[in-house]
Amino acid sequence: MMGGEGFRTASAAAGVAPDKAASFNDVVREFMKGLLEMSVEFGRGCRDVVRQSLVTEDSFLVRNFGNDSYIGRKIKVPKDNVLRRLRLFNEYLVPEDKDPLHAWSVILSVFLLALAVLSLSIEYDTAIPVAKNVYIHPPSADRIILPDGRYMAYREQGVPADRARFSIIIPHSFLSSRLSGIPGLKASLLEEFGVRLLTYDLPGFGESDPYPYRNLESSASDMLFLANALGVSDKFWVVGYSTGSVHAWAALRYIPDRLAGAAMFAPMVNPYDSLMNRGERYGIWEKWTRKRKFMYFLARRFPKFLSYFYRQSFLSGKHGQIDQWLALTLGRRDRALIEDPIYEEFWQRDVEESIRQGNAKAFVEEAVLQVSNWGFSLADLKLQKKQTGKGILNLIKFFLSGSEEEYTGFLGPIHIWQGMDDKVVPPSMTDFVHRVLPSAAVHKLPYEGHFTYLYFCDECHRQIFTTLFGTPQGPLPVNNTIEVEQTPLDDIQVQEDASTQDDFRTD
């Protein structure tokens, strides 16, 4: 605390005399006291005016709502009962020198004020994430030109093409883009296993041109052309996650000779597939919300109506949560993941890239592909012996050719990872796939949801790569062989050396 001398010194330094400073503080204090007293007197005056004008015996309020009026007599008994019950609390809540009626009016006012403040704070908190606008970033993707003139945007990660031991191509899922890939995958892990990772935007998504005539066969053709254009000379792996698995299944069907294998994570299949039995279909549909079932119905029967719902959600220009936009049911661990700031940042950026063209048509086409006739069945991918034609001529031709038994279906490995707490793509869907494709290796993940195993999990990513590629061996070694172009003088010297060696052998 500052003493008297310190106060005088500070006042002098400020250029104000001590007496003047003290007198100014007194003036302010007295002014505030006077203002408060005037406010109190003004309030009392207003109260007296109201009493004299409205609460007299001959006033309108007393004549119509007083104790002796018709309405007053009707409410007198309930009012007396309420007041009698409130008197039980007066001993604890109301001071002895205060009127109970006045005290209870204050308590009620404070209670209502607290409710109003609480409702405003809750409304403010819930409005924060909704108010965030979608930002469309400047174009930045590398692109190739497809044979039909369309541009396809892609992203490349990992080791260069000439040093890649393994190449992976990933078609993205619904409401996603080339930026997704395997979320959180570290560049060091790609280097350790010698992996080159390619992702691309589906037609109409991100920076890829739309294609109104696309189907799953054209989707596989686009994937193949991307691989050839980017120098993938060997077979490559295809990775399908969630609804992106639809395009991975198409690659297994239409370009099987170029695939080394497939890795599926919660793979989506057509929920209307005729090969499903009753138990499998029930196990799938019971996990979905009514809104999601309705959206599938629209995609199958009235796809044009989907545009309205998409424009009300992810095409509205505002950010939202994935479960609300896509009507998803999420488990406990999935719920915790999507509320993580790391996931939220990734999700918002991926969505911004996915919807950058602002056209609902591409999303409608993607939704229709999921539930319409694919042009093939999963049973077509089953590895089985190729049946020879019937008749004597076909049998004789088979024996004369001396060829070995031929197989149909996909010859490479198929690995499926399925979270057992996944409510977006329920385990019953993977059970159906395994029944139709018994050669597929299914890795069941207890307690995992739809996102938790693939998203931002370093240990999970290492397990996946080890399962697919075995022990990490790093990138292929660099070819250090240097070729020197021979000149005519070098050719003459080589000929002279050869002539000398011949003379030596003759001697």
Tell me whether residue 221 is in a domain: yes
Question: Is there a single domain that holds both residue 84 and residue 197?
Answer: no
Question: Is there a single domain that holds both residue 199 and residue 111?
Answer: no
Tell me whether residue 112 is in a domain: yes
Question: Is there a single domain that holds both residue 238 and residue 382?
Answer: yes
Per-residue pLDDT of the chain in tens (507 residues, 90 and over written 9): 444 444 444 444 444 444 444 456 666 666 676 666 666 666 666 766 666 665 566 666 666 666 666 666 666 656 566 656 656 555 555 555 455 555 656 667 666 766 665 565 544 444 444 458 999 999 999 999 999 999 999 999 999 999 999 999 999 999 999 999 999 999 999 999 999 999 999 999 999 999 999 999 999 999 999 999 999 999 999 999 999 999 999 999 999 999 999 999 999 999 999 999 999 999 999 999 999 999 999 999 999 999 999 999 999 999 988 888 888 989 999 999 999 999 999 999 999 999 999 999 999 999 999 999 999 999 999 977 766 566 676 666 656 665 556 667 899 999 999 999 999 999 999 999 999 999 999 999 999 999 999 999 999 999 999 999 999 999 999 875 544 454 554 554 545 555 545 544 444
Nearest to 211 by CA among 223, 200, 222, 196: 222
Tell me whether residue 351 is in a domain: yes
Question: Is there a single domain that holds both residue 332 and residue 462?
Answer: yes
Q: Which of 130, 163, 184 is the last residue of a domain?
A: 130
Residue 130 class from Cβ within 10 Å (0-12 exposed, 13-18 middle, 19+ buried)? exposed
Question: Is there a single domain that holds both residue 190 and residue 47?
Answer: no
Token couple for 102: 């006045």
Question: Is there a single domain that holds both residue 370 and residue 339?
Answer: yes
CATH of the domain at 295: 3.40.50.1820
Tell me whether residue 507 is in a domain: no
Whether pTM > 0.95 for this model: the answer is no
Question: Is there a single domain that holds both residue 119 and residue 147?
Answer: no
Tell me whether residue 322 is in a domain: yes
Report the chain's C-alpha Rg in angstroms.
39
Q: What share of the chain is helix, strand, coil (3-state, %, to 5)?
A: 55, 10, 35
Tell me whether residue 3 is in a domain: no
Tell me whether residue 277 is in a domain: yes
DSSP designation for 412: S
Which domain, by its residues, includes 126? Answer: 25-130
- Distance, in Å, from the CA atom of 267 to the CA atom of 289, rounded to the nearest integer, reads 19
Non-local (6+) Cβ contacts of 195 within 8 A are: 158, 159, 164, 165, 166, 167, 168, 189, 465, 469
What is the tally of structural domains in the chain? 2
Non-local (6+) Cβ contacts of 483 within 8 A are: none
Question: Is there a single domain that holds both residue 371 and residue 320?
Answer: yes
Question: Is there a single domain that holds both residue 451 and residue 339?
Answer: yes
Cβ atoms within 10 Å, residue 251: 26
Question: Is there a single domain that holds both residue 81 and residue 188?
Answer: no
Q: 């297994």: which residue's tokens?
A: 252
Question: Is there a single domain that holds both residue 202 and residue 254?
Answer: yes
Question: Is there a single domain that holds both residue 367 and residue 449?
Answer: yes
Q: Are 75 and 64 in contact (CB under 8 A)?
A: no
